[in-house]
Amino acid sequence: MRRIPVKLFLMAAAVLLLAGGCGRGGFDEDRKEFNWPVMGTYANLNVFRPKADEALLITKSAFEEVNTELSVFAPESGVARLNASAGNGEYVQLGRYAVKVLRESGRYYEESGGAFNPAVGPLVEAWGFFRGGGAGYFPPDASVIAKTKPLCDFREVELKDDGIARLPRAGMRLDFGAIAKGYAVDVAYERLKAAGYSNFLVNLGGNMRCAGTRDAEDGAWRVAVRNPRKELEGEPLGMLMLTNGMSVATSGDYEQHYEYDGRRYSHIIDPRTGESARGVAQVTVVARAAMEADALSTACFVLGAEASRGLLETHPGSGALFIMVDDAGGFEFEMVGGFADWFEPEMDGFGNAQ
Ligand code: ADP
Ligand code: MG
């Protein structure tokens, strides 16, 4: 593991991943970029002509189909119906995408020792982060956490072979916010590949997966990891160079959060304690598929850099960049696993580093 200690005294600002770099290769005048809003966030597709418009339709319908099964906001989705019937004894038929994501979630739950847990819904709500909560909220007291935690036991979620599922206790609620966008990207990726597209990059709210190469010359798709201290257009922390199916996802404490009594509370909950996770300001994970990167980024956010090492080791082709934050607001950067192999730091961006 490489360790780059950089102490920063600043307010944690938004950090985003941007599909970056203007083309130098011969393909680029043939490259088309689409941006559109979807699933409460933004989406982006980079693809080569001809047939770029067709690729957009394929991507949109993949996102739509996954969302229709997994969204907790669409009342008719399988997952919303499952949540609504928690504790009433009935089983709910899930679609194949929801079954897949639920099964994979079980794997990440076990691998992460419960740090990744989509049954955390009631705690997310108790902390004020359901349906866009945030500003104006304050931490729940210990008795609320103690009462809510037993409703978040992922092992109690029942899933049968034919795809019917049940939440045995009233008040249980699944929330796939930490994995569904990555999965939707994988579904779009597979469909585009099957339709014959070989060079593209799909991005759903910072969950990205690339196919092939960006252009004929240097090959890699370049993804900027933004410097938290700079404006969106400012110097990035560095560039990720991704090719051939590689994916990236980021979890941060800057998206949904609130401050109370001088402390920042983020929308990622440590299901083991019931507390809002702390110690990490941002983690960017590279992995071989977008669902993997998405789930790992949330697990790593909860676990922190040290405890994430073993988890990342069990995922070949993965690596992470952690921005750890201490109670005084000082930052420290750590790269774990293979991250450094794909990352070109531009640490000049840390002009005020101490
Ligand atoms: P983003 O919201 O930027 O996609 P994540 O992929 O990390 O970030 O997902 C965070 C969302 O996942 C939260 O909004 C919440 O719905 C849910 N969540 C919170 N804590 C956990 C956890 N420990 N395990 C699984 N899901 C979680
Ligand atoms: Mg995630």
**Which ligand number lies closest to the CA of residue 280?**
1
Q: Round to whole Å and give the CA distance between 18 and 32.
A: 16
How many beta carbons lie within 10 A of that of residue 275, not counting itself?
16
Could you tell me if 171 and 154 are in contact, meaning their C-beta atoms sit under 8 angstroms apart? Answer: no
Over residues 57-70, the mean pLDDT reads 97
* Ligand 1 in reach of 116 Cβ (< 6 A): yes
Choose the weakest-confidence range: 27-41, 202-216, 262-276.
27-41
The structure's pTM equals 0.90
User: Is residue 339 in some structural domain?
Assistant: yes
Q: Round to whole Å and give the CA distance between 65 and 45.
A: 17
Give the angle 200-221-104 at the CA atoms, nearest 5°: 70
Number of domains in the chain: 1
Domain boundaries, position 198: 7-67+179-345
Q: Round to whole Å and give the CA distance between 98 and 66.
A: 8
User: Is residue 329 in some structural domain?
Assistant: yes
User: Is residue 314 in some structural domain?
Assistant: yes
Q: Would you state the pLDDT for residue 261? A: 83
User: Is residue 22 in some structural domain?
Assistant: yes
Q: Which atom of ligand 1 is nearest to the CA of 182?
A: 6
* Higher-confidence position of 293 and 214: 293
**pLDDT(218) > 70:** no
**Which ligand number lies closest to the CA of residue 255?**
1
Residues, beta carbon < 5 Å, ion ligand 2: 178, 294, 297-298
Q: Round to whole Å and give the CA distance between 350 and 248.
A: 23
Q: Would you state the pLDDT for residue 232? A: 56
**Which ligand number lies closest to the CA of residue 176?**
1
Give 156's contacts (C-beta < 8 A, 6+ positions apart): 119, 167, 168, 169, 172
Over residues 97-123, the mean pLDDT reads 98
Separation in Å, CA 246 to CA 22, 224, 294: 20, 15, 12
Q: What is the CATH classification number for the domain harbouring 252?
A: 3.10.520.10
User: Is residue 90 in some structural domain?
Assistant: no
User: Is residue 207 in some structural domain?
Assistant: yes
Task: Give the closest residue (by CA) to ligand 1 atom 3.
Answer: 251
User: The tokens of 351 are what?
Assistant: 């002009």
Residue in 123, 125, 152, 268 to alter for ligand 1 test, most ligand atoms within 8 A of Cβ: 268
Q: Would you state the pLDDT for residue 23? A: 40
Q: Would you state the pLDDT for residue 262? A: 82
User: Is residue 191 in some structural domain?
Assistant: yes
User: Is residue 295 in some structural domain?
Assistant: yes
